[in-house]
Amino acid sequence: MNRKKILVLPFILLNSVVIIAALFKGLQISLGYYPLIGLKEITLANFQQVLTDPFFQKSLVYSCYLALTATFLSLLLGTAVAFLLLKVKSSWLHKIISLPISLPHIIVGLMMLQLISQSGIISRILFQLGLIQEIGQFPLFVHDSKGVGIILVFLYKEIPYVAVSILAILQQIQLGYIEVARNLGASNTRIFFTIVLPMIQKTLATLFIILFCFTFASFEVPYLLGSPSNQTVALTAYDLFTQADLTTRPLAFALNLIISGFCLAVTLLILTISNFLPGGRKTT
């Protein structure tokens, strides 16, 4: 074992102990063992109650809708921006596009709240220009049932992240392959699907996992911009955990473990699919 691995070993061990202890405690409480309130019997009733609850099922569907919409749009638009950055050699453009990556999600959420709410900056400008007669005529993008404001926040943050990640791969592609394909008469579409896409496919799969899991389990953005009628699973877990009645705590822990298990299942599914797509291990 070299010196670098020895130096990083204490950090890995410390974090492993903390994570394993937290998971064990969460599993213990979710299984009904919570002596603080007199619960000492191991049971799967909390998981069953959460999974069969219509409100949780609605929250799960809504969270999947937000996560899938934001993830697919981010990957599509981010890849397009990466190709733009590859062609346009402008350091200022690179810096401007990379700027949102450094901003916390909660800051972007507050910015979006001030910008696109019915009493926000855009609404006031349109009112002053006479394009709308009253503030209420401005479309509802914040606290709406479709989560438009939430999706816009994630797109603002995730498109640059995807663009920068994909750009790093595109800059390493051997341009000779593309030139040979062009000389053989291949169209740009065929070149993309047969040469470029297989090379960036595994990166896209990794980005999908990162973005989906983060968006699915996100709390602060739906909390700021979400609709009271549609809650994400993270907000549902938060509500259960902050109840004055401590008997809801095991339900909150069970829900958190279900969220983790769902993200793990999605991760394994995407990695499996990625292996069988062009550029994956099963096809190389």
Q: State how far the Cα of 212 lies from the Cα of 214, in Å rounded to an integer.
A: 6
Cα–Cα dist 31/260, whole Å: 16
Give 65 or 99, the one with higher predicted confidence.
65
Per-residue CA distances from 164 to 158, 203, 205 (Å): 10, 11, 15
Q: Is residue 25 part of a domain?
A: no
Residue 174's pLDDT is 62
- DSSP labels, 116-166: HSTTSHHHHHHHHTTSSSSGGGS---SS-TT-HHHHHHHHHHHHHHHHHHH
Average pLDDT score over the chain: 86
29, 62, 107, 181, 198 from 56: Cα distances, Å: 19, 10, 28, 51, 38
Would you say 67 and 147 are in contact if contact means Cβ atoms under 8 Å apart?
no
Q: Give domain status of residue 282, yes or no.
A: no
Confidence of residue 11 (pLDDT cuts 50, 70, 90): confident
Q: How far is CA 30 from CA 49, 179, 232, 234, 284, in A?
A: 11, 58, 20, 16, 43
Highest mean pLDDT among 85-89, 112-116, 205-209 belongs to: 205-209
Q: What is the CATH number of the domain that holds 138?
A: 1.10.3720.10
7 or 200: whose pLDDT is higher?
200
∠203-208-214 over CA atoms, to 5°?
130
pLDDT band at 204 (very low <50, low <70, confident <90, very high): very high
The answer to whether residue 183 sits within a structural domain is yes
Model pLDDT, residue 83: 86
Share of the chain above pLDDT 90, in %: 31
Domain count, the chain: 1
Q: Provide the residue range defining the domain that includes 52.
A: 31-274
**What's the pLDDT band for 205 if we cut at 50, 70, 90?**
very high
The amino acid sitting at 59 is S
Q: What percent of the chain has pLDDT over 70?
A: 95
Q: Kindly tell me if the per-residue pLDDT of 177 is higher than 60.
A: yes
pLDDT > 60? residue 195: yes
Is 21 part of any domain?
Answer: no
Please indicate, yes or no, if residue 15 is contained in any of the structural domains.
Answer: no
- Residues 140-167: tens digit of each pLDDT: 888 888 889 999 999 999 999 999 999 8
pLDDT of residue 9: 80
Indicate whether 235 belongs to any domain.
Answer: yes
Token representation of residue 90: 């402008």
Decide: 255 and 233 in contact? Cβ < 8 Å.
yes
Q: Is residue 14 part of a domain?
A: no
The pTM assigned to this predicted structure is 0.86
Give the burial string for 176-185 (b: 16+ CB within 10 Å, else e).
eebeebeeee
193 and 108 in contact (C-beta within 8 Å)? no
* Any domain includes 17: no
280 has pLDDT over 70? no
